[in-house]
């Protein structure tokens, strides 16, 4: 990045720690998105100076092995792998990352199971975890994580209950000196990046903004749905019965979402009438969305699939190369910092 203006120089200085940690030019992580964050998008983000992250999701160790190898053919720049802590073969997946000398492993979906953090670090990789609360952030830092992501409920995909701005205010002053902290959720423009960097973030993580990249393999219908949508269309799934837990997911409103509410009502009624046992009822709710993200991203069924998207979707207005997206974000951030300097 050039330092030919006060804003760009300030931006470079504010991102220096995050970029050095990632080994990238700019401290922007491409948030792992199941089915979307495969070799093409990941390599494009890293090649454009950001830091791409492969979404392992439900991949087998063999598939992850092939995906990492495929990504390496497309970029010589560093990239990471996102592993879900609940994956039944987490240990084997960590071994695959170690075999390929993946530099950064992101653990998502809950606290790292016993031994996983140690195994990642023993391989020489840096371990990045999600911190949902300040207490857990401090606990993760004590257990040796190298960096944290704090993600607010504006984000696409599985979400917590607190907004990005509140998490950032609550957590950055307490933990940003200990480890690099990357802020995620609802970031659509560089001005917001500048703001979080000013608050002490080492960098940011964006997902929604990269879905419509030219290099993204998401189905044209999926991209069209993003380009048409506004912030208010990206809604969190709602649980309607206390007995039937629903993990909140932010996605675009569609027929699948309406049918999910109907399904919850039917299952709750069947429970009331004793036609279903509790375990079976809960399983039916849990399994409702199985395969739904793939149906939307790969098959293009945006009516019945899950079109996971964050509230920043309103700021996605066209398909464009990753390099242009990153350049725009950086120019906006530099401009915001330039104004501050004036």
In angstroms, give the least distance from the CB of 63 to ligand FMN: 14
How far is it, in rounded angstroms, from Cα 215 to Cα 218? 9
Q: What Å distances lie between residue 337 and 5, 9, 189, 196, 197, CA to CA?
A: 10, 9, 13, 11, 10
Token digits of residue 126: 């840096």
CB nearer to ligand FMN: give 50 or 310: 310
Q: What Å distances lie between residue 222 and 6, 206, 212, 319, CA to CA?
A: 39, 17, 8, 11
CB nearer to ligand FMN: give 9 or 314: 314
CB nearer to ligand FMN: give 201 or 281: 201
In angstroms, give the least distance from the CB of 272 to ligand FMN: 34
CB nearer to ligand FMN: give 90 or 281: 90
In angstroms, give the least distance from the CB of 270 to ligand FMN: 31
Three-state secondary structure call for residue 127: strand
How far is it, in rounded angstroms, from Cα 9 to Cα 219? 38
CB nearer to ligand FMN: give 6 or 85: 85
- What residue number has its CB nearest to ligand FMN? 207
Our CA angle for 121, 126, 132, nearest 5°, is 105
Please report where in the chains the tokens 């009516």 appear, as a residue. Answer: 303
In angstroms, give the least distance from the CB of 295 to ligand FMN: 12
In angstroms, give the least distance from the CB of 210 to ligand FMN: 8
CB nearer to ligand FMN: give 33 or 181: 33
Residue 98, burial from CB neighbour count under 10 angstroms (0-12, 13-18, 19+): middle
In angstroms, give the least distance from the CB of 329 to ligand FMN: 11
Contacts with ligand FMN by CB under 6 A lie at: 31-34, 36, 55, 57, 82, 108, 151, 154-157, 184-187, 205-209, 308-310, 312
């Amino acid at each position: 990045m050039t330092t030919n203006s006060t804003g760009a120089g300030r931006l470079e200085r504010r991102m220096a720690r995050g970029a050095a940690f990632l080994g990238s030019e700019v401290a922007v992580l491409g948030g792992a998105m199941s089915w979307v964050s495969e070799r093409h998008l990941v390599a494009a983000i890293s090649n454009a100076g950001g830091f791409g992250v492969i979404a392992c999701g439900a991949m087998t160790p063999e598939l992850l092995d092939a995906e990492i190898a495929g990504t390496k053919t497309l970029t010589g720049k560093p990239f990471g792998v996102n592993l879900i802590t609940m994956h039944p073969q987490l240990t084997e997946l960590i071994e695959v990352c170690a075999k390929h000398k993946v530099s950064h492993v992101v653990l998502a979906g809950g606290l790292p199971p016993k031994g996983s953090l140690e195994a990642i670090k023993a391989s020489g990789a840096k371990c990045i975890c999600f911190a949902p609360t300040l207490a857990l952030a401090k606990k993760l830092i004590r257990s040796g994580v190298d960096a944290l992501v704090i993600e607010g409920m504006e984000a696409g995909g599985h979400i917590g209950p607190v907004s990005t701005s509140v998490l950032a205010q609550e957590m950055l002053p307490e933990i940003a000196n200990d480890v690099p902290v990357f802020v995620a959720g609802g970031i659509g423009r560089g001005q917001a990046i500048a703001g979080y960097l000013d608050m002490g973030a080492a960098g940011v993580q964006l997902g929604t903004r990269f879905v419509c990249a030219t290099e993204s393999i998401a189905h044209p219908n999926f991209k069209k749905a993003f380009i048409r949508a506004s912030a208010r269309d990206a809604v969190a799934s709602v649980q309607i019965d206390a007995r039937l837990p629903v993990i909140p997911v932010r996605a675009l409103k569609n027929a699948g979402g309406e049918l999910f509410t109907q399904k919850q009502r039917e299952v709750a009624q069947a429970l009331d009438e004793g036609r279903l046992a509790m375990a079976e009822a809960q399983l039916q709710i849990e399994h409702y969305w199985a395969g739904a993200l793939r149906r939307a991203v790969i098959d293009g069924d945006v009516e019945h699939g899950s079109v996971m998207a964050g509230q920043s979707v309103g700021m996605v207005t066209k398909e464009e190369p990753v390099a242009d997206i990153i350049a725009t974000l950086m120019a906006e951030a530099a401009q915001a910092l330039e104004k501050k300097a004036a």
